[in-house]
Every structure is written in structure tokens, then in C-alpha cells.
Structure 1
Amino acid sequence: MNARRPIPRAERIARLAARHLLDAGDGAGSVTEVVERLVALHATDPATVHLSVAARLRQPERMAALMDEALYGRPPALVRMLAMRRTMFVVTRQDAPAVYAAAGQQIAARERTGLLARLAEGGGWDEAWLAAVEAEVVAALGERGECSGAELARLVPGLREQVVVARGKPYETRQNVASRIIRTMAAEGRIERRRPVGSWISGQFRWAVAEPLPPRPVDEARAEVVGAWLRAYGPGTEADLAWWTGWALGVVRRALGAVGAEPVQLAEGPGWVLSGDADAAEEGPGPAARLLPALDPTPMGWRDRDWFLPPDHRAALFDRTGNVGPTVWWGGEVIGGWAQPPDGTVVWRQLADRGREARAAVDERAAHLTALLAGVRITPRFRTPLERELSAPPA
């Protein structure tokens, strides 16, 4: 491959800061704008969705009202779905059909295959039994409108059944089938998560019948997803895309060809941008401080992160399986991490010194986030060494 031209680290950082709303610009005016700019928000941890948006909103104090409307309005502007890498994401309803066709439906098929195997092995139930239970779930939601998982289990007897796991082994146990059945139906887009049972940081949701997504050709959808990634995260390498999507390299290369991506040269090697984007100039309004939550899509956007996150900081900011914790940003690069001790204040630690202006700006952002959370304490689902240290009670 003949690279068109080199794109140095400073230019990549400038693109990242501008396109991910991490510079000193005005920020986004809506939740949908944030999601569109980032393609998808990680939603494994419910707090991530809200804090990723708040960090980029023009008026972060309106986060709660704007998120409620976007996620739970009629119809909602955003959709939660299992997609790339079998991870829970939030995407716009407009992009949901392409994301589902490109990644979600394959995951849903694997979920169903695994569920049927578990039911047959652990309880002796077959596909017909499962179909009957699922029909009862849809009927109950059609009658009630919305139900929590616990309410559905009371209304649908089949959801109260249990399967034997690891039969004959010393660690044999029994597990309820409800969560696996509901998860599979959600993965297939038949039911959807509505408001949480509890506050906005709760991981337990009410369920409702979902509006069907229009079908899309798989190859066309994959090209669309790759184009969206390049628009938001490019330039990037084939390895970055393969990691982010969870696809084989051959699939990534076909999608790059279909979208007409252009080659460039990065410090890591050959990279790609959208056609016409190689010479795009990003002259933003200057650096700014941002406090991003655990699993934020920006630090999770590439496999190789050395150009914005020094390798020496990885041990402090990531867990052992590659999940990033809360990060502190200045001018499009990671300079530290943050957490909340028991009193709920937001505290941070500097890992890279970028001067007095940067430290003062981060202190101000930390104070603003403390006020925004108003006593709500966020504990990431995946704990990282620095987050654990900063959030520990004082000795």
C-alpha cells in the first residue's frame, strides 16, 4: 500500500480534540449530537452514557433532563443494543439499523444458539418451549406497557425456571433462565430497555416491546459503520478497526474498500481516512480540560493508544482486561485520572505535567463535576488501580 501522506501525532491529537468535543469549543447542544460525533457510547456501565455526554454538552447542568428525553422519550432518540465486540452500546435510532445489521444481528444469533444449548443441557427444554415463553413475555409487555425483570418473572411462569449448570461437577449450581431469555430477546431487538429501576446509575431496567428495526444488507451496513468510525476516529489502522468492531481483518478490509477509504502513513504504520479527509485541517479554539468516565468511547476508540496516552500510564488507568477507568484530558491527550472518595468530591491525579494552566483548568472541571453529581458517587463497574487508590477512604 502506498501511503498518500504522513499524519503526525500532533495532527491526530488536534483531530481527536475537535471531533470528540474535547477542545475549548462551545460543546454540543444536544445528546444526539454527542452520540453522532462519537458513533456510539459504551453502555455496559449506565453511568458512562450520562457522564460521556455531560463532558461534551454546552450545558452539562441539563444532562439529566436531556438524557431522560433522549433515552426514554416516545419514540426514544437513542437505542441500547449489543453490538461491536459483544459490548452494550447506545447509538442513535437513525444509526441503529446499520449497527444492528453490521454487528448486532450476528451477536444475537450467537446469544440464541447459546441459550438453546443451555436450556437443553440444563433443563431439557427445546426451541418450542422457548418460543412459548417468549410469546408470553411479549404478551405481558403488550398488556402492561413496561415491566421490570422481576415483574416479568412474576407474570411469566417460564421465566422462573432454573437450569443446572456444570452438571456433575463439584461446582454444579442452578441458575434462573429469566436473565438469559430477556437478554436474548433484547439482543434481537424484540424488546428494549426503558427507564432504570432506581436512579440513572442503576443497571436494572424496565422492559417494553421494541419497535422493529428495518433490515439492512450486511456488507452495506458494515461499510457504513466503518465510514462513521473513520469520520470520528480516523486516521486509524486496520488493527484499530478490527479491535473496535471485533471483526476479522478480511471483513475490515472489504469494508474499507467499499467506503473508498484513503491510505495515509502513521507512526504505527499504514493507516486510513475517509476519502478527501487526509488534508483536513483542525484548528480548534485551543486546549481544554475534560474529565471522561470509565469506558468513555474516546479512550476506547483505538487498539493502539500510545499517541494520546503514554504507555507508562496504562497500568494505572486500565484493568487487566483492557477496560479504561476515569481519565483526565488536556488538549486531546490523557494527563491523569480521577475518582470520588467517600465524601463524593471529584479528585484527580496528574500523570503528565502540562503546566499551571492545565492544572487550574482540571481543578475547575473537577469542581464542576462534583457539583453536577450532587452527592451521587460513581463506582465504575470495572475498577482500575488509580481509581481504587483515589476513591479509598483516607487512612
Structure 2
Amino acid sequence: MRHIDDDERRARLARRAGLVGGHPDVLSATTAMTVLHATEAATVHLALWARVPGVTVADVDAALYDDRTLVKQLAMRRTLFVFPRDLLPAAWGSAAARVAAQQHQQVIKFVTAGGFADDPEAWAAEAYAATLACLADGVPRSTAELRAQVPVLDGRFVMGTVDKKWGGEFPIGRWVIGTLGARGRVVRATNAGHWRLNRPTWTSTERWLGTFDEPWAADAGYAELVRRWLRTFGPGTEADIVWWLGATKTIVRRALADVGAVAVGLDGGGQGWVLPDDVDPVDPVEPWAALLPTLDPTVMGWRERGFYLDPAHTPYLFDTNGNAGNTAWWDGRVVGCWVQDDAGVVHTVLRDDVGAAGRRALAAEAERLTAWLDGVRITNVYASPQMKSARLP
């Protein structure tokens, strides 16, 4: 069994993520990462800024809304991602279908809680059909606009208790539309707000994408997702893939077998997996610096992060659910975070001594990101404790 040590894993990470050398365009960069996290809208643009030299907001928006080579899709772990268009059918038949089933059960639960109908399944079927009929003309509509035109979507139910932060009365439309999105029947179309904010409009998948492949069989879909994950993140452990995919060990083991994955040894005595044509050693890279956004796909690629993250830093740079805030990297390791002041200037907050060369390189990245943002301030839902407590000069 070949052994891939932490140094080689960090070199692989740097090259494949485009943090050394970069990628030529936004589609290439997204494909290289398998998918991009999109729960926070700004992550998409900032993740591509870090990987595509000279990229602009207009370049990213063109891929999402004009060329439509990138598409937002609810999938693994009920998380919103940006997918390369060609990977969608694999996800629709596997990870997204799993999420769609979960979403549908939520719809049934809320229909029952709201007392909307004696037959929740029939109510849901009619709501799905009415929503699709409304969107059949191809005109993108916001959730609020859909609720206004499809009255059943405005039915209200109580979730939790109204005196709690996450409790209150809610319209069911969000879950109906979300289920259709996970099924691949509707997609997020144009964004109705600033690029740093999620203000989606919705339309039918057929209208948005035109010709597209039907969902793959589940096993084939999972195998393709795991194949691409290994190309991006390998070597990784079974636990990494189970976590990233939001699936079971049985599903992951079947997918690993289907793609012919090869076992390799890892530092610390663990076992990882790579694709059969990805066993050869890779050359080391020179020290590099990067500033990555909240929920960046590289930071969120693995569950077992010890090869690039000091475990002592985890409580400062991740929330209790394992969501990463903004991160600062030096020579293949997370060494702190970055924040903005009131004027939009980017500052790094370091937890490690990176030496003079590291400080210079990170300062240059902060200056470059400040210029690119040009006064735009990013608001993070998943700000890390370190970001929240940062004291700026």
C-alpha cells in the first residue's frame, strides 16, 4: 500500500484547488472543486476570486445566469451548492434525490401541523403541480411572487415556539419549492439582489437549461460524485466521504468499489482512498498564501482536517456544527482568518507565527482582496468565533 504523507496531501490540495497556479476560468475552477458551497451567496464569487486570476463578478454572474454552465442545486447534506451543469443528472438521481425525500417528508409534516388537508400527500401533489404550472411560462419568480400567484404556497404553520429565535409562523411555500428544487424540477434562476446576498428567483429546469439529461440511477450517480470528490480531494478517508456526501457507509463503500478506488496509507496510521490513476507521487510546491471565504469548498472538503488544520484552532475558526468561517492559509495550513473593517479593508487575524515571508504574502493577499471588493462589505451568517471577536487596528 502506497503511503501519502501530509506534505504530499497539502501539495495536492494546493494544485487541485487552484490555490497555486490558478484555473483558467470559472467553469474549470468549479469543475476542479467538484462543486462550490453556495449557502452564503458571496462564497461563490470569493471562492472563484481565490482560484481564477483576474476573475470579475461579471464573469461569475455570466456563468450562473447567462451561459448557465454553473447551476445552484440543493444536494449533499441539504446544502446549497453550485454545480457544473454536466454533474447535475448524477446528483439529481443520488444525493439530491435523498434530500428531496427528506424535504417532502417535511412538507407532509407541516401540512399536517397546519391542518391544511385530511390527505397531506394529495395536498402536496397538488401544490407541486400548481407551482410547476405557474413556472411553465419560463418567467423567473421569487418565492414571494410564487406565494402570491399560487395561494396554497402561502398556507401558514407554526414551527417551534414563537418566542424562540428560530420559531414562529411560516408559509409552507419555501419547503414546497425546495422539494421541487431538490428533485431537479425547478432551479434557482437570476438573483434578485446584490451578488453577496441570496435573493433567488425560480423557474422550471426545462426553461432554464433547455435540453438536459434525465437523473441517473442512484448507484451510478453516487459513483460519479465520489469519483469527482476523489479527483478533487483524494486521498480522503471513508469518514470524509460519508460526511461530505451526507450518505451512509454502505452507499460510500459501494461507490468506492464502483470507481475502483485504491487504498493508501496516511500519516497517523489511517487509510485513505484515491482513484486508480492517481497513485503516483506529486511534486512539492513553494510556500503559498490564500484568503478563502466562509464555507469554502477546500476548507469544507474533509471531515478529518488534521493535515491542514491544528485541532486547537477548530473552536476559533469553525462553529459548533463544523462550518468554517473565513480562513487565512500559509504553506498549506489554516493559520487564522480574515475580516473587514467598516471601510471594507481586509485584515488577517493570525493564530500561528508564519514568519516574515508569510506575513508579507498574506498582507499582499489582503491588499489584493480589498481592491477586488472595492468597498463591498461581506456579511457572514456563519462567521466564526475568531471573526466575531477580532479587534481591528
1:297-336 CA-to-partner distances (Å, cap 9, x unmatched) read 1111111111111112112101111111100112222122
Aligned match of 1:22: 19
Residues 142/373 of structure 1: CA separation in 2 closer, same or farther (3 Å cut):
same
Would the aligned equivalents of 2:328 and 2:337 in 1 still touch at CA under 8 Å? yes
Matched, 1:9 2:6: yes
Q: 2:327 & 2:191 partners in 1: Cα distance? A: 26
Aligned match of 2:170: 175
Aligned match of 1:73: 66
Aligned match of 1:311: 311
Aligned match of 2:156: 162
Matched, 1:276 2:277: yes
Q: 1:123 & 1:170 partners in 2: Cα distance? A: 22
Q: 1:40 & 1:164 partners in 2: Cα distance? A: 34
1:85-110 CA-to-partner distances (Å, cap 9, x unmatched) read 12111110101111222210111012
Residues 348/261 of structure 1: CA separation in 2 closer, same or farther (3 Å cut):
same
Would the aligned equivalents of 2:13 and 2:233 in 1 still touch at CA under 8 Å? yes
1:199 to 173, 194, 212: 194
Q: Which runs of 5+ in 1 are unaligned?
A: none
Please show how residues 46-195 of structure 1 align to structure 2 within 5 Å.
46-60=41-55, 62=56, 64-74=57-67, 76-125=68-117, 126-143=120-137, 145-165=139-159, 173-195=168-190
Q: 1:170 & 1:65 partners in 2: Cα distance? A: 42
Q: 1:100 & 1:358 partners in 2: Cα distance? A: 43
C-alpha deviation, 1:5, in angstroms? 1.8
SS in 2 for 1:95: helix
Would the aligned equivalents of 1:189 and 1:213 in 2 still touch at CA under 8 Å? no
Aligned match of 1:288: 288
C-alpha deviation, 1:173, in angstroms? 4.9
C-alpha deviation, 1:230, in angstroms? 1.0
SS in 1 for 2:93: helix
C-alpha deviation, 1:120, in angstroms? 2.3
Q: 1:120 & 1:272 partners in 2: Cα distance? A: 44
Please show how residues 341-356 of structure 1 align to structure 2 within 5 Å.
341-356=341-356
SS in 1 for 2:271: strand
1:191-237 CA-to-partner distances (Å, cap 9, x unmatched) read 11122221001122111111365121211221111111111101111
C-alpha deviation, 1:291, in angstroms? 0.4
Aligned match of 1:41: 36
Q: 1:329 & 1:119 partners in 2: Cα distance? A: 47
Residues 153/287 of structure 1: CA separation in 2 closer, same or farther (3 Å cut):
same
**TM-score normalised to structure 2 length:** 0.92
SS in 2 for 1:88: strand
Residues 100/144 of structure 1: CA separation in 2 closer, same or farther (3 Å cut):
closer
Q: 1:393 & 1:189 partners in 2: Cα distance? A: 44
Would the aligned equivalents of 1:288 and 1:361 in 2 still touch at CA under 8 Å? yes
Q: 2:159 & 2:44 partners in 1: Cα distance? A: 33
1:345-384 CA-to-partner distances (Å, cap 9, x unmatched) read 1111122223212211111110111111111111211121
C-alpha deviation, 1:17, in angstroms? 0.7
Q: 1:85 & 1:306 partners in 2: Cα distance? A: 22
Please show how residues 228-377 of structure 1 align to structure 2 within 5 Å.
228-268=228-268, 269-284=270-285, 286-377=286-377
C-alpha deviation, 1:20, in angstroms? 0.8
Q: Give aligned-pair identity as a percent.
A: 41
Q: Aligned pair count?
A: 383
Residues 151/109 of structure 1: CA separation in 2 closer, same or farther (3 Å cut):
same
Q: 1:282 & 1:296 partners in 2: Cα distance? A: 25
Q: Which runs of 5+ in 2 are unaligned?
A: 207-211
